[in-house]
Amino acid sequence: MAVIGCGLIGSSVIRAAREAGVVGEVAVADLSEAHRKRIVELGYADTVTGDVAEAVAGADLVVFAVPVLAMGEAARAAAGALKPGATVTDVGSVKGSVAEALSEALSADSVFIVPGHPIAGTEHSGPEAGFAELFQNRWVILTPEAREDAAYLEAVDRLAEFWRALGANVERMDTGHHDLVLAVTSHLPHLIAYNIVGTAADMEQVTRAEVMKYSAGGFRDFTRIAASDPTMWRDVFVANREAVLEILGRFTEDLQALSRAIRWGEADKLYDLFSRTREIRRGIIAAGQESPEPNFGRDRGKH
Amino acid sequence: MAVIGCGLIGSSVIRAAREAGVVGEVAVADLSEAHRKRIVELGYADTVTGDVAEAVAGADLVVFAVPVLAMGEAARAAAGALKPGATVTDVGSVKGSVAEALSEALSADSVFIVPGHPIAGTEHSGPEAGFAELFQNRWVILTPEAREDAAYLEAVDRLAEFWRALGANVERMDTGHHDLVLAVTSHLPHLIAYNIVGTAADMEQVTRAEVMKYSAGGFRDFTRIAASDPTMWRDVFVANREAVLEILGRFTEDLQALSRAIRWGEADKLYDLFSRTREIRRGIIAAGQESPEPNFGRDRGKH
């Protein structure tokens, strides 16, 4: 296996695959010298290089785990060195633009391109942030190309099997639907979180010290995802612009209606919204995607 | 001590005060028969009644822990039965309207009115949701009246001491500043969380099942505070309308600028915002108001 880009997700893929015993040799390419040094120290890869072509040579599975706007360049660097019959996938949070970049850079005649996206992560970044259990009970969405040949379908199945071995559930979807669903469940939440943290930081009448001190009233929850990797997220919003702006338009409409209900003291409208949102959380907990403990379990040490 | 309204906060005050050994007899008044039954079963109060006057009779400290718009009525029900020289406080999330309601209902000649607000909670509600450690290392804001007489100042000090015994840090503030600070650190975050969960639930192109399934991409974080008590939060937005609408205006302006940056692909602007928001989280963790663990520690069991 070759992993191109070894941050939180890339390093977690390697650790999880090692733990599951589903990989032999692992080669890593990373552009950052500091990352490469850490990866060598951490000792989870057999080859560590700054050269993408060197890393992918001979690999049966190539995982691109770089920011989404860097996928095209990474794929072009790999193109000449890929082993015929290799499966090429990625872990990008946007699938339309990445699928396009991969298919432009690579020859579908010699390799199997199967874009993918594990819905898992933390707010930490870098090669030491990964852990083997990150994908356990999380969903991985594959967005295969519109190919029906048996060899390709087998490659898709093998990749799905790989992710299942890492503890994940696998779903297939077309790229457009993926990008819309993720705009709702991931991209808009990040945008809103970044925005509210920015707004709070820029108030004149309320100091930053006050914002931090009294953040347990709710604000601190937003700061977690607003601490995510800035390069990764800059790329997501550029690459999934249309779906994000569409969902953001809906959010803004709803917020204006809510603002109007507050202005006019429409208490019943507020109560109705605040009651029905509880159900969604119950559903998420029932779906095994969230801790049932109060406060995400962050107070566990206190009890 | 008399506690009027025994939900998450009221029951936590009792449990924490018992554990700290700073209360003798505890009387509870709660309008809900189901609550009263649970409180009797849980056994942390000496008297459990539906009658506010009965609960406050003889109490040295009276804590109103009902939704903010119910404070006035609860105070009026208590007025005739309060022990002269008693300290009366509350735990409401809005201080301007509550301070007004308490001072209208009660005679400042015979009792000491010291409004207060512990910045602590979980998304759970009711008399069984409370726990003794809830206030540990959290902040309690007191908004004393503009009185300088020694007896009043002593009552304020005693109340501060009470909260410190429960593990909290205590700060004093005027009501207006409190309501603005909390609009930023608590009310706006709740409004935004309720709104985004509502928007996601109402999408036609994305099903609720999909929203739940792929919520680990960030959305699930918002559902925690959007699962908070609807009555409490309805009252907060009605009672703190002006400050909330002011802060919401700032948030919306910033969001429009961000939306424009996405539309025009202004990658540097996005990167700049996404980088500086990280600092705020570091500050919150350094201030002891947040878990330093990735994902709030919710994955702790997985490692």
Q: Which CATH number goes with the domain that contains A224?
A: 1.10.3660.10
Q: Predicted confidence band at A300 (pLDDT cuts at 50, 70, 90)?
A: confident
Within chain B, what is the greatest distance between any pair of CA atoms?
67
Tracing tokens 């963790």 back to the chain, one arrives at: B285
The domain boundary, picked from B173, B192, B211, lies at: B173
Q: Is residue B141 within 8 Å of B173, Cβ to Cβ?
A: yes
Judged against a pLDDT cut of 70, whether residue B301 lies above it is answered with no
Nearest to A180 by CA among B266, B220, B263, B207: B207
State whether A211 and B293 contact (CB < 8 Å): no
| pLDDT tens column, B108-153 | 999 999 999 999 999 999 999 999 999 999 999 999 999 999 999 9
Confirm whether pTM is higher than 0.80. Answer: yes
Residue B233 maps to a domain? yes
* The last residue of a domain, from among A173, A197, A230: A173
Asked if residue B295 belongs to a domain, the reply is: no
Residue A296 lies in a domain: no
Same domain? A157 vs A221: no
Mean pLDDT throughout B194-200?
97
Residues A100 and A188 in one domain: no
Q: Can you tell me the distance from the alpha carbon of B5 to that of A205, in angstroms, rounded to the nearest whole number?
A: 33
pLDDT digits (tens, 9 = 90+) for A232-280: 999 999 999 999 999 999 999 999 999 999 999 999 999 999 999 999 9
How far is C-alpha A130 from the geometric centre of its chain's CA atoms?
13
Residue B285 lies in a domain: no
* Residue B42, φ and ψ in degrees, nearest 5: -70, -25
Q: Tokens 């009965």: give the residue.
A: B54
Closest B-chain CA to A227: B278
Question: What is the per-residue pLDDT across A88-116, written as a single tens digit (0 to 9) for each?
Answer: 999 999 999 999 999 999 999 999 999 99
Helix, strand, coil in percent for chain B, rounding step 5: 55, 10, 35
Q: What pLDDT does B59 receive?
A: 98
User: Domain check: are A153 and A190 in the same one?
Assistant: no
The residue to which tokens 């909390």 are assigned: B182
On whether residue A184 sits in a domain, the answer given is: yes
Chain B positions in Cβ-Cβ contact with residue A244 (cut-off 8 Å): 262
- The residue out of A157, A173, A189 marking a domain boundary is A173
Same domain, B261 and B199: yes
Shared domain for A35 and A72, answered yes or no, is yes
Q: Domain limits at B32?
A: 2-173
For residues A31 and A146, state if they share a domain: yes
Question: Least CA distance to A190: which residue of chain B?
Answer: B218
Has residue B190 been placed in a domain?
A: yes
Mutate to test the interface with A, among B191, B229, B250, B266 (most CBs of A within 10 A): B191
Rounded Cα gap, residues A246 and A79, in angstroms? 35
Number of domains in chain B: 2
Q: Evaluate whether residue B287 is within a structural domain.
A: no
CA B242/CA B147 separation, integer angstroms: 26
For residue B171, the chain A residues in CB contact (below 8 A) are: 213
Q: Residue window 191-230, chain B: list those with CB within 8 Å of chain A.
A: 191-203, 205-206, 208, 210-228, 230
Q: Which regions of chain A does DSSP assign to beta strands (E)?
A: 2-4, 27-29, 47-49, 61-64, 87-90, 112-113, 116-118, 139-142, 169-172
Are B17 and B105 in a shared domain?
yes
pLDDT tens-digit readout, B171-190: 999 999 999 999 999 999 99
> What CATH number is given to the structural domain containing B120?
3.40.50.720
In-domain check, residue A285 = no
Mean pLDDT of B6-12: 98
Do A39 and A167 sit in the same domain of this protein? yes
Laid out side by side, the sheet with B116-118 consists of B116-118, B139-142, B169-172
Residues B119 and B225 in one domain: no
Q: Taking all residues of chain B, what is their mean pLDDT, rounded to a whole number? A: 96
Q: What share of chain A is helix, strand, coil (3-state, %, to 5)?
A: 55, 10, 35
- Subunit contact A273:B233, Cβ cutoff 8 A: no
Q: How far is A3 from chain B (nearest CA, A)?
A: 22
Claim to verify: residue A138 and residue A237 sit in the same structural domain? no
Residues B149 and B8 in one domain: yes
Question: What is the distance between the alpha carbons of residues A141 and A254, in angstroms, rounded to a whole number?
Answer: 29
| Interface residue A34 vs chain B (CB under 8 A) | no
Output the average pLDDT for chain A: 96
- What the block records as the tokens of B121 is 């909670």
Same domain, B164 and B28: yes
Residue A186 per-residue DSSP state? I
